[in-house]
A and B are shown apart, each in its own frame.
Chain A
Amino acid sequence: MKDRLLLPHIYRKVGFAMLFPSIAWLLASYVFNHPPFPFLQFNTDAAGKKDFFDSDFIFERGFTTDFNGEISLLLTWACLFMIAFAREKKEDEYVKTVRLRALQVSMYINYGVVALASIFIYGLSFMWVMYAALFSMLIIFIIIYYYQLHLRPRLANNS
């Protein structure tokens, strides 16, 4: 049976090919504060709230925004998603079991880390935890899945 919830196998190669440029773009935008594409910075009008439960919106005109950060963040996430959820060349019941188990373990680990972070990290720093949580579940899943499916049999054969 063909699994319609997975991407075609070629997407894994696309994900790997685009991952490192998008991480470099992400680091340049967020960590080193040198957004590489200046044409993605433009003035716009923005609406927001001071507080989540505040009923009044605040409108700000001529607000300068930089989409380098947003686009590189989404692109990095998309690359990880493609690597994680691209179909294997041959999908069988064992691959499905490994994928499901890896997904379950990665979800447990990720929620555990976020729960711990919610106890120990406060204020605006917690926003960075949520940013990291966006990626960490996929990264943990990819590590567990590749270890179980590709690395462990190879190590077992060598020993």
Chain B
Amino acid sequence: MKNLIKVERARHDMTQADLADKVDVTRQTINAIESAKYVPSAVLAFKIARVFGKRPDEIFELEEGD
């Protein structure tokens, strides 16, 4: 699953640690999601989208084979 977390972070001038604090996960988790090594749960995807004021499908996008 592709995501635009890095872009949104840059737009909101936010570090991985800032975002991690806001959604109550570790920085490693944000790092793993950004580098597409981990697909977050629906709850976490909703939380991340809410931080950026967007809908989850605006941040996360299914890829072929998903």
Contacts and interface: CB of A to CB of B under 8 A. Distances in A.
B40 A93 contact: yes
Query: Main SS of the interface on chain A?
Result: helix
Interface in A122-150: 149-150
B25 A92 contact: yes
B26 A94 contact: yes
B28 to A, nearest CB: 5
Contacts of B27: 153
Interface in B1-56: 24-29, 31-33, 35, 38, 40-41, 44
Interface string A95-124: 101000000000000000000000000000
Contact of A149 (B28, B33, B40, B41): B28
A149 B27 CA distance: 10
Chain A interface residue count: which class?
10 to 19
B28 A94 contact: yes
Contacts of A156: 31, 35
B5 to A, nearest CB: 14
Interface of A: 88, 90, 92-95, 97, 149-150, 153, 156-157
